[in-house]
Structure 1
C-alpha cells in the first residue's frame, strides 16, 4: 500500500520516546523525521485517502473533519509531555520522508524563532458564559469576566482573546457562540510551565467570586493560539481553529 506522510508538529530534538501506544490520523502510529536540528512528528497514512482530492473531501465532511481534528490534536497533546511542540496546520501532508525533510529545511528560518519563543510554555483557555441568576434576571455579569481576565493575565506572558471578549476598561455587546449562547470571555493565555500551578491556583481562587456565569478552564495544551511565524503566518490549526496554521 502506497503511503504519504501526515505531519503534526515541528519540535526541537527530544530524548524522551514517543508513547508506544500513540496513534494519530487513520490510526497510524506516530514517528519522527529529523533534519538540521529540527524534528517533525509524522504518521504514514494511505495515499488513497490522503492525496489531494480525497483529503479535500475529508475536510468538507463535518464528521470526518472532526475525526481528523481529534486525531491530530491527540498527537500534539502527547508531545506536550516530552517537548514544546510547534503545531502545524491541520491536514499538512507530504509525499514521503524526504519531502518532510525539505519542509524542515525550507521552514527553518521561520520555525526556529517560533520554537524559541514557545519553549517551556503552555496554553490555557478560559471561556465564560452567562448562567443562573445573571441570565434570568438581567444581573450585570460583565465585571466577572473582566476580573478573571485581569487577574489571570498577570500570570501569562501573552494573551489572545476572541470576538466579543471584554478587555480591561472596555464595554460592549458579547459575541454569540451559537448553541452555547453569548460568550462573555474567550481567552487563551501563554504561561510558562513553572507558572502553571500559580495560574490554576488563581483561577480556583476566583471561581467562587463568579456567580451568574459558567466558567470553563481548558488546558494545558500546546500553544495553538500563539503560533505566529517570524515574518508572518497564521495560528496553527486546532480543534477550535482547524483552518489556520503552517503547512
Structure 2
C-alpha cells in the first residue's frame, strides 16, 4: 500500500462552520478529501497525498511538469478559496507537505503566535493582481505603395525598422508610466504592495510584453473603489493593456520572515 503524506493548504481559525474533521464536499489535490487539523487555537486544512508523488525527491521532478503543476495549483486554489469565502485564511505555498498530521499539529503549536498575528493582519483584506502590458509591434510594417516603388527599397525598409523601434520604445515608456500611475492611484486604497517578476515564456498569457506583475492588499469593502482607481489612472495611455484579477486570498503576503518562522513552517 502506498504511503501517504499530509498536504497542507492553509491556516485558519476554527469557527462553528469550520470545525476539526472532514470538510464536506471539498475535494483537494489528487481529488482527496480535506480535513481541518487543529492545535493552539489555529487549524490547518490538510489532505492525504501519495508519497510517491509528493516526497521531496518526487517533487523535484513533478514541479517541472507544467500540466501536473497546473492541476495541483487549481486544486490547491480551490481549497483556499473555499476557506476564504468563510473566514480569514493564511494560504500556504504550493506543495507544503508534512510527514503526518501530528507533524502539522506540531508546526501549528510552535507557529501559533506568528499565525495568529498574520490572521489578525489579513482580517477583512483581499488580494488584487494588476498586470501591465506594453502592446509592442513585433514585425516591421509593410512598405507603403510610394515607398515600395521607391528606387531604394533597402532604405525604405530601414525607415520602417526605425519607426518600429520608436513604436516599441513608446509602448514601453507608456507602460512604465502606467505602472507609476497605478501605484499612485492604488496607494490611496491598498495597504500593501508586492511586486512579482514579470511573466515570460509559457507563463505569459495574452498579447503584449508583461512589464509589471504586482499584487495589492486591499480592504475587501473598498475593492470596487480600488478597481475603479486602477482603470481610470491609465485610461488615456496608448499601447498599454492593464489586467486586473481578484479578489483572492492574500497569497502574495502570507510569507513569514525567516527570524519569525519556526522550523518547518511554510516549508515541506
User: Do both share a fold (TM > 0.5)?
Assistant: yes
Query: Which of 152, 170, 188 pairs up with 2:215?
Result: 188
Query: Which of 160, 184, 196 pairs up with 2:194?
Result: 160
Post-superposition offset of 1:87: 1.3
Cα separation, partners in 2 of 1:144 and 1:48, compared to 1, 3 Å? closer
Pair 1:104 & 2:108 matched: yes
Please give the per-residue CA displacement for 1:165-222, whole angstroms capped at 9, x wherever unaligned. Answer: xxxxxxxxxx673475543322111111122121123234345334311111111111
The answer to whether the 8 Å contact 1:113/1:230 transfers is no
Instruction: Mark the runs of 5 or more structure 2 residues left unpaired by the alignment.
Output: 138-163
Post-superposition offset of 1:91: 1.3
Distance in 2 of aligned mates of 1:85 and 1:4 = 22
Pair 1:46 & 2:50 matched: yes
Count matched residues: 226
Distance in 2 of aligned mates of 1:187 and 1:53 = 32
The corresponding residue for 1:226 is: 253
The answer to whether the 8 Å contact 1:5/1:43 transfers is yes
Normalised TM-score (structure 2): 0.73
Distance in 1 of aligned mates of 2:65 and 2:136 = 36
Post-superposition offset of 1:154: 1.3
Distance in 1 of aligned mates of 2:44 and 2:125 = 19
Distance in 2 of aligned mates of 1:21 and 1:215 = 36
State the secondary structure of the residue aligned to 1:69.
Answer: helix
Cα separation, partners in 2 of 1:209 and 1:22, compared to 1, 3 Å? farther
Query: Which of 163, 167, 184 pairs up with 1:150?
Result: 184
Pair 1:91 & 2:118 matched: no
Cα separation, partners in 2 of 1:136 and 1:228, compared to 1, 3 Å? same
The answer to whether the 8 Å contact 1:110/1:231 transfers is no
Distance in 2 of aligned mates of 1:136 and 1:81 = 47
Judge which range, 1-10 or 25-34, deviates more. Answer: 1-10
The answer to whether the 8 Å contact 2:136/2:209 transfers is no
Normalised TM-score (structure 1): 0.79
State the secondary structure of the residue aligned to 2:226.
Answer: helix
Judge which range, 87-96 or 213-222, deviates more. Answer: 87-96
Judge which range, 91-100 or 151-160, deviates more. Answer: 91-100
Distance in 2 of aligned mates of 1:210 and 1:129 = 12
The corresponding residue for 2:200 is: 177
Please give the per-residue CA displacement for 1:13-34, whole angstroms capped at 9, x wherever unaligned. Answer: 2333597432111011222111
